[in-house]
Amino acid sequence: RVITEAAKQSNQGWSSTGDWTEIEGAWVLRPKSSEPSFVVHFIGGIFVGAAPQVTYRYFLERLADKGALVIATPYASGFDHFFIADQVQFKFDRCLRNLVEPVNDLPTFGVGHSLGSVIHLLIGSRYAVQRSGNILMSFNNK
């Protein structure tokens, strides 16, 4: 409940731009002053990854300021990392299909923090995703 309320406030207040949009279970942030020049698929760490538009807001909004179309995919915490990877990738794919503007020609980067880094590695090994690169922060392989 706390995360749900924080997510509502992130979209409506706290000096927020209010530009976060939920599309097919993913949170999308578009650059304010230009067309996007690249796409970032962001996956956060365990627990805080449930509401990335809140917990990583400052970081992700700075990426959007640099021209990124940010797609942050939340997930429920758990130990079945393969299941999480599948669910996160399905959300990302559905979100891409439902975006108003086409972004297929833009370079796409995976950005993950902690468990989000592990999830990006699993996605890359299980699916034929087209990435220009991955940025893996605080990666821990146990």
Given this model, what pLDDT does residue 142 score? Answer: 59
Report d(CA 124, CA 127) in Å as an integer. 6
Q: Report pLDDT digits (tens) over 30-54.
A: 999 889 999 999 999 998 999 999 9
Topology of domain 2-137, CATH: Rossmann fold (3.40.50)
Ordered by start, the domain boundaries in the chain are 2-137
Report d(CA 23, CA 20) in Å as an integer. 10
High-pLDDT (> 70) share of the chain, %: 85
Alpha carbon distances (Å) from 27 to 50, 52, 139:
11, 8, 23
Pairing verdict, β 108-113 and 133-137: parallel
Per-residue confidence at 9, pLDDT binned at 50, 70, 90?
Answer: low
63 closest CA partner among 39, 44, 46: 39
Alpha-helical segments (H) within 1-141: 2-12, 52-55, 57-65, 81-98, 115-126
pTM of this structure = 0.85
Per-residue confidence at 87, pLDDT binned at 50, 70, 90?
Answer: very high
Given this model, what pLDDT does residue 141 score? Answer: 62
**Which residues, 6+ apart, have CB-to-CB distance to 86 below 8 Å?**
126
Per-residue confidence at 102, pLDDT binned at 50, 70, 90?
Answer: confident
